Every structure is written in structure tokens, then in C-alpha cells.
């Protein structure tokens, strides 16, 4: 039996991947933390199989994963591999897959793109009444990503300017980049 849900969010990481599924009436029906104890290819298989298993009953119009932190210096290739696995798993369960930059997620939840993890957790608790075991920021981020997916699927839910800006950036990522004024000696 397939359960249609409003959105799925995944906060991807090599060590602590948060997963959240929101019901059609905005309730958390799944909140998981994936913590593989293996490395290399085994870790990728573990994360993929875990996601496919826990998401098996659900179908969502939108799945959102947290894209890479471009300033991160911790094993970028590993994060890229995990991100690929997450996207494949989401693609099997969602009508479309979108990504949100870490700063965009913070802005969507708190209105501040440089908010701390603690502020993210407390804002989710205050605004939506959701809390997570040990105030786990991975689960909180997955919840925030699912909320972004919910708003992408139904833009009429979006009432704040900060949230509208985040959704617009996700839907039109190229429009916000500054163009270089260099012409590369006329080659470009």
C-alpha cells in the first residue's frame, strides 16, 4: 500500500543522515537518524538501502535534500558520494527532487541564513511544535527540508518574504548568481 505524503526531507551526511516524512496534514510520520558504522562502499550501500527501506511505503510530490556546504573541508568526495546515493533514493519516492543550500535552509526556518544549529532546533520547536530526541540537529534539518518540500508543492503555504526568497532561489538557481565582468580576452 502506497501512502501519499506532502514531502520528504533528507539532511545528508556520511555519519549522521536525518530523514523526515511529513503527512498530508503536516504531521511527522517518520523521523529517522541513519548512523552507519561502516566505511567506503559499504557505507554508501547501507545509507541507500536504509533510505529505500524506510521510504518504501511513501510517495511525495517533492523530496528535498541539503546540498553540499561549499566551505566544508571534511572529505568532499565522500559527501558527494553520499549526496548521490540520497538523490537516487529520493528519486525513487518523489515526483521531483530539489536541493537546498545549508544557508537557505537556515533562512527558511529562522529568517537568518547564518542561524546556529541550536536556533534551528528551538525555532522548529517553537514555530511547529516539533522536537527531536536529544535535540538532534540532523533530524531538525531533515524536518526543515521536508517543510521546504511541502511549500514547494503548495506555494500558497508560503507567507513570509524570507521563505519566498528561498523557494525562488531553489526553483531558479541560476538567476541569483552574479555574472563575471571579465571577458577572458574576448574568448567568452
pLDDT digits (tens, 9 = 90+) for 40-81: 999 999 999 999 999 999 999 999 999 976 555 666 778 789
Question: Cell triple for residue 72?
Answer: 566544508
> What pLDDT is stored for residue 178 in this prediction?
47
> What pLDDT is stored for residue 77 in this prediction?
75
Alpha carbon distance 154, 147 (integer Å): 10
pLDDT digits (tens, 9 = 90+) for 6-36: 999 999 999 999 999 999 999 999 999 999 9
Closest CA to 149 of 26, 47, 7: 7
> What pLDDT is stored for residue 183 in this prediction?
43
> What pLDDT is stored for residue 184 in this prediction?
43
With vertex at residue 58, the alpha carbon angle to CA 60 and CA 24, rounded to the nearest 5 degrees, is 55
With vertex at residue 103, the alpha carbon angle to CA 130 and CA 143, rounded to the nearest 5 degrees, is 20
Alpha carbon distance 173, 170 (integer Å): 6
**CATH match for 3-173 among 1.20.1050.10, 3.30.420.10, 3.20.20.120, 3.40.50.300:** 3.30.420.10
Sorting pLDDT into bands at 50, 70 and 90, what band is 104?
very high
Give me the helices (H) in the chain, please.
40-55, 76-91, 102-110, 117-128, 137-153, 161-171
Longest dimension (CA), the chain: 60
- Report, as an integer, the average pLDDT of 135-148: 97
**Residues 99, 65: contact at Cβ < 8 Å?**
yes
Strand duo 17-22 + 58-66: pairing: unpaired
> What pLDDT is stored for residue 174 in this prediction?
74
Q: What is the DSSP letter of 175?
A: G
* pTM (2 d.p.): 0.89
Length of the chain: 188
Alpha carbon distance 80, 57 (integer Å): 27
- Report, as an integer, the average pLDDT of 156-165: 95
Inform me whether the pLDDT recorded for 177 exceeds 70.
no
Amino acid at each position: 500500500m502506497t501512502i501519499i505524503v506532502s514531502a520528504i526531507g533528507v539532511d545528508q551526511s556520511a555519519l549522521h543522515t536525518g530523514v523526515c516524512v511529513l503527512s498530508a496534514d503536516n504531521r511527522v510520520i517518520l523521523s529517522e537518524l541513519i548512523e552507519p558504522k561502516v566505511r567506503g562502499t559499504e557505507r554508501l550501500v547501507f545509507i541507500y538501502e536504509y533510505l529505500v527501506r524506510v521510504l518504501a511505503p511513501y510517495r511525495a510530490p517533492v523530496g528535498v535534500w541539503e546540498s553540499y556546504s561549499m566551505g566544508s573541508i571534511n572529505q568532499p568526495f565522500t559527501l558527494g558520494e553520499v549526496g548521490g546515493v540520497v538523490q537516487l533514493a529520493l528519486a525513487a519516492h518523489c515526483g521531483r527532487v530539489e536541493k537546498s543550500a545549508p544557508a537557505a535552509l537556515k533562512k527558511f526556518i529562522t529568517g537568518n541564513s547564518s542561524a546556529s544549529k541550536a536556533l534551528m532546533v528551538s525555532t522548529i520547536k517553537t514555530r511547529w511544535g516539533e522536537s527531536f530526541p536529544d535535540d538532534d540537529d540532523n533530524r531538525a534539518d531533515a524536518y526543515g527540508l521536508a517543510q521546504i518540500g511541502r511549500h514547494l508543492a503548495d506555494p500558497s503555504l508560503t507567507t513570509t518574504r524570507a521563505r519566498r526568497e528561498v523557494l525562488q532561489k531553489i526553483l531558479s538557481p541560476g538567476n541569483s548568481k552574479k555574472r563575471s565582468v571579465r571577458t577572458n580576452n574576448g574568448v567568452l
